[in-house]
């Protein structure tokens, strides 16, 4: 009963370091997403993948890259971390990209110092 699994749960990075957040879903969903959550800002979409083989920018894509490795996995990469990227990151998935319930992972707490 895993649902959406993301790793790591906590990470501290130094400015300029790179890292990849991993995400996998076991619900055979077509669409996957990466959001960030900041105090007072709600959820903001970074990138999404409507289906395997496609990725598109969301509301705040600058400083990030993504890879839809296969139908199950969708990774988020920070090439050169900045303090402004300190946030909680959520991976999510849904059966289709419109009108459907979104299922979220438990979150990854990232601090950039």
Partner 1 sequence: GDSVTQMEGPVTLSEEAFLTINCTYTATGYPSLFWYVQYPGEGLQLLLKATKADDKGSNKGFEATYRKETTSFHLEKGSVQVSDSAVYFCALSRRTGGFKTIFGAGTRLFVKA
- DSSP one-letter string for 66-91: EEE-SSSBEEEEESS--GGG-EEEEE
Report in angstroms how near the CB of residue 46 gets to partner 1 at its nearest.
13
Select 4 or 76, whichever has its Cβ closest to partner 1.
4
Report how far residue 110's alpha carbon sits from residue 23's, in angstroms, rounded to the nearest whole number.
Answer: 15
| Residue of 4, 21, 32, 110 interacting with partner 1 (CB under 8 A) | 4
Using CB under 8 A, which residues numbered 17 to 36 contact partner 1?
Answer: 31
User: CA-CA distances (angstroms) from residue 79 to 16, 21, 70, 102?
Assistant: 8, 11, 21, 27
Determine phi and psi for 55, rounding to 5 degrees.
-140, 150
| Residue of 48, 68, 76, 85 interacting with partner 1 (CB under 8 A) | 48
Residue with tokens 């979220």: 104
Using CB under 8 A, which residues numbered 68 to 97 contact partner 1?
Answer: 90, 92, 97
Using CB under 8 A, which residues numbered 52 to 71 contact partner 1?
Answer: 56
- Residues forming contacts to partner 1 in the complex (CB under 8 A) are 4, 31, 40-43, 45, 48, 50, 56, 90, 92, 97-107
């Amino acid at each position: 009963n895993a649902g959406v699994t993301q790793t790591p749960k906590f990470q501290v990075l130094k400015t300029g370091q790179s890292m990849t957040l991993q995400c996998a879903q076991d619900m055979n969903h077509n669409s996957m997403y990466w959001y960030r959550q900041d105090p007072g800002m709600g959820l903001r979409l970074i990138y999404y993948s409507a289906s395997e083989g496609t990725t598109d920018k969301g509301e705040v894509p600058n400083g990030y890259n993504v890879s839809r490795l296969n139908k199950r996995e969708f990774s988020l990469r920070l090439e050169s971390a900045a303090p402004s990227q300190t946030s909680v990151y959520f991976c999510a998935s849904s059966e289709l990209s419109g009108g459907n319930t979104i299922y979220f992972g438990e979150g990854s707490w990232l601090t950039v110092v």
